[in-house]
Chains A and B, each alone.
Chain A
């Protein structure tokens, strides 16, 4: 009989982490909500950041760069700003397509940094903001690569009940769903937490929080730039680790948001951040020391017959695999740009105009296509899998992917390179009068294609390493 042991989800590699601030100037176009009565930001709640993590097996290997960006999206489908930033970053840091993920936190209190909005009030600041964002990503990425050290990443999952289901049947109109707290449906509470510790001196150089929940604590009456709950969450964690940066990665939150949201008061975002931050600290405290498994050591006869377990060092896996491939998702029929332009012309309500702007942005991508091409990233470090997708997704995606890889920690990242294309929802929801079903351009079969593509991509990481 082999002696019982529990091996943690770990991997060892050369890792660096670095951060730059990207808080935009006051007065920038900040209208993220159709219901807002203002267009520009009037101040800052907490700073916005980009936080870059570099990962490579040896100095000779190309570094992979995972960048957490405090933004709802990077531009939109009209301007393809994320495409442009990716190209520039890859060129400046000499990395290829599969080695770069720009993971948006999806905060709804960030500027709408799209050239298509440059004629709006405060829109003149967008170009400068995008240039600053580009520089910040390149600088943080370069510094992360330069300061890399041999480190062990430990991942462990816990739970946090901040996220709740947000598809609420309209009590006034049974044929429609509202986007807001639905207390009747349980939410995926999975909280995946990572800790990065240098091998040489055992120092924590960074932490990772991967959690699915719309950063919509703050709503249309908030006039401050804010990372939403991510800000206070980061502060809570970083205070306990001498300021080592915490990298936030948005999970599959298409159907998930805080129960108490759309508030004008930043204290609501802060208390949500406390909830997530403390839950993550609890998970961090439950991890073994880095590079150690928990192993049954011996039986001890005391008042009771005791089983004595102790942490023991073991060979932490060092294999790194970085992959990415395109996947095609079925598209819906979509109106033309010209048609939508005419409708925008006629629209009077601000919410109706905002919906049409978003629709028009997608129309440019859609012209005559029956499929939409997205990139799926599959990375692996030892027993840790990272899967990244360029859309918003319902939580069933991450739950199912995690079920497919029970022997690994799965870091499930959405809103990667995000240009606000929208949601991938389960087929059963497609016909409903539900925002997340009618807003996006993806047709039926989208969830299956994304799920199958994600699993395929992660399986590739076992062949490549």
Chain B
């Protein structure tokens, strides 16, 4: 056997990145609301009225198809919005309207919210504080903007390559901090956080960047109650840095963030959010820089005798997967005892009444069309885009969920997306978080053990998606 024959047949002499070859269109618009709007959702804030803008809020849309003739379209939307938390405002008034306008099914649309804590409410029922008068027009503007950019994305449809890669980013820290008898929500320096950063680089056939998909788990809570500014939090600066280099829209897709937040947070100074954004932005650029050119793989091609005997690897054309498909599944998980309003208020009798009102409203709103007898029906969307799988749901999972799934499925890149498509606006904490009575465990509807059930369910579900890498 010749050297050439041998290296062509040897699995070890070939490195194939995770890739996709699909049709894609992208559009972006500004959704910054007017100054004065209610945009300080913190329980601790004295006034919710905004007095300025730190950086603009942005909406991004992407349409995906497996081929130019494919009639089936899937839309991915990323919004600099906090949360919805209400079936009526999310499913009925927003997503149903968008899919009707686009002529697609509701499961063909994923809307990921960044969860900035410095934007207006996107649920009309939360428009209760100073500056609430601007909220209805803001919501209407966002919905019509999403419809418009989805339609615009269709007009920019072209053949693209997507290269997927994991990188690392040190922004997120574990935010469950036991101090005495209480578990506080804040930086815990004794625990390691998941620093996985998942990137999708979308380029057209000329190699020009079309979009950067950035999936990372971290609460955008740098800016706290002392700031009156409208802000996308760290996402804003990260976007500036990445788009400054790529000239293509930056899609921030919030990952499993239930127990992750920045080390330095809850501050009034937007420069801290900018520093946090630099951590993410530069980590994204580092990950982009490590990628091989689009639709290429790496092959051992030559043995060169030099000072040493050298193995020369060279780039070769690859044959990326063209698969685009989606599934929606429902995970049945047990919920805790559902407290009445009176019981909740009694439990929080020593907390400020306004804060209690916020907590009670959240608890009641998340049950609609979700609780079903002793169980909840937790929807989850699984999208395969070539060698990558997007797992999307509306909860806020503890980061261990994405870590475990990635560990169990190393042959594909997993984009794990919290804060996407309700219902299911709940934390999904691990069992130990319940034992410590962490905030996330008393906020959630789910019974202990739900995290573990969901993990098993998703692990098994992933096996039904084909692995096509390196065909």
- Taking Cβ atoms with an 8 Å cutoff, the residues of A that contact B are 1, 4, 6, 33-36, 158-162, 168-172, 176-181, 183-184, 189, 219-220, 259-262, 271-272, 274-279, 281-283, 285-286, 288, 294, 296, 299-311, 349, 351-352, 354-355, 358, 435-436, 439
Contacts and interface: CB of A to CB of B under 8 A. Distances in A.
Nearest to B186: A307
Contact of A354 (B171, B265, B266, B306): B306
A309 B186 contact: yes
A329 B394 CA distance: 60
A34 B3 CA distance: 21
28 contacts: A33-B307, A34-B307, A171-B10, A171-B12, A172-B3, A172-B7, A183-B15, A219-B312, A220-B304, A274-B289, A275-B289, A275-B290, A276-B286, A278-B282, A282-B169, A282-B281, A282-B286, A283-B170, A294-B263, A296-B177, A296-B187, A299-B179, A300-B266, A304-B43, A305-B184, A309-B264, A349-B305, A354-B306
A306 B275 contact: no
Contacts of A158: 168, 170
A285 B282 CA distance: 9
Contacts of A172: 3, 6-7, 303
A282 B263 contact: no
B352 A301 contact: yes
Contacts of A435: 307-309
Contacts of A220: 304, 306
A299 B289 contact: no
A301 B282 contact: no
A303 B309 contact: no
Given A260-B298, A282-B278, A300-B266, A307 B185 contact: yes
Given A160-B286, A176-B309, A262-B312, A183 B182 contact: no
Given A172-B6, A299-B182, A308 B285 contact: no
Interface in B133-161: none
Contacts of B310: 35, 178-180, 262
B270 interface: no
A285 B279 contact: yes
B292 A260 contact: yes
Contacts of A34: 305-308
B432 interface: no
A305 B185 contact: yes
A258 to B, nearest CB: 9
B364 interface: no
A272 B286 CA distance: 9
Nearest to A177: B309
Contacts of B352: 301
Interface in B1-33: 3, 6-7, 10, 12-13, 15
Contact of B311 (A1, A168, A274, A308): A168
B469 interface: no
Contacts of B313: 180-181, 259-261
A169 B311 CA distance: 9
Nearest to B305: A351
Contacts, number: 196
Contact of A303 (B43, B183, B189, B306): B43
A304 to B, nearest CB: 4
A310 B186 CA distance: 11
Interface string B250-290: 00000000000001111100000001101111110110011
Interface string B161-184: 000000111110001010110111
A300 B311 contact: no
Interface residues of B, number: 67
Contacts of A177: 309
A439 B298 CA distance: 28
B289 A439 contact: no
B263 A285 contact: no
B464 to A, nearest CB: 28
Contact of A162 (B264, B290, B359): B290
Interface of B: 3, 6-7, 10, 12-13, 15, 41-44, 167-171, 175, 177, 179-180, 182-187, 189, 225, 263-267, 275-276, 278-283, 285-286, 289-290, 292, 298, 300, 303-313, 315, 351-352, 355, 358-359, 439, 443
Contacts of B305: 34-35, 349, 351-352
Contacts of A275: 286, 289-290
Nearest to A271: B289
A157 to B, nearest CB: 9
Contacts of A179: 308-311
B282 A281 contact: yes
Nearest to A285: B278
B187 A309 contact: yes
A311 B264 CA distance: 8
B184 A299 contact: yes
Which A-B residue pairs are the 5 nearest by beta carbons? A307-B186, A180-B311, A435-B308, A285-B278, A35-B306
B285 A274 contact: yes
Contacts of A308: 186, 266
Contacts of A279: 282-283, 286
B307 A354 contact: yes
Given A180-B313, A285-B282, A309-B263, 14 more contacts: A161-B168, A170-B309, A176-B309, A180-B310, A184-B12, A189-B168, A262-B304, A262-B312, A282-B279, A282-B280, A296-B179, A296-B187, A303-B44, A305-B439
Contacts of B42: 302-303
Given A35-B304, A260-B298, A309-B264, A181 B186 contact: no
Nearest to B290: A275
Contact of B7 (A161, A171, A351, A439): A171
A161 B312 contact: no
Nearest to B267: A310
Contact of B177 (A4, A181, A300, A355): A4
Given A171-B7, A259-B313, A278 B286 contact: yes
A299 B298 CA distance: 52
A323 B13 CA distance: 46
Contact of B283 (A176, A260, A282): A282
Contacts of B266: 300, 306, 308
A300 B171 CA distance: 22
Contacts of A352: 305
B398 to A, nearest CB: 15
Given A259-B298, A278-B282, A306 B186 contact: yes
B275 A285 contact: yes
A439 B308 contact: yes
Nearest to B168: A159
Nearest to A157: B170
Contacts of A349: 305
A279 B278 CA distance: 11
B117 to A, nearest CB: 10
B283 A259 contact: no
A259 B171 CA distance: 27
Most chain-A CB neighbours within 10 Å: which of B266, B267, B311, B358?
A: B311
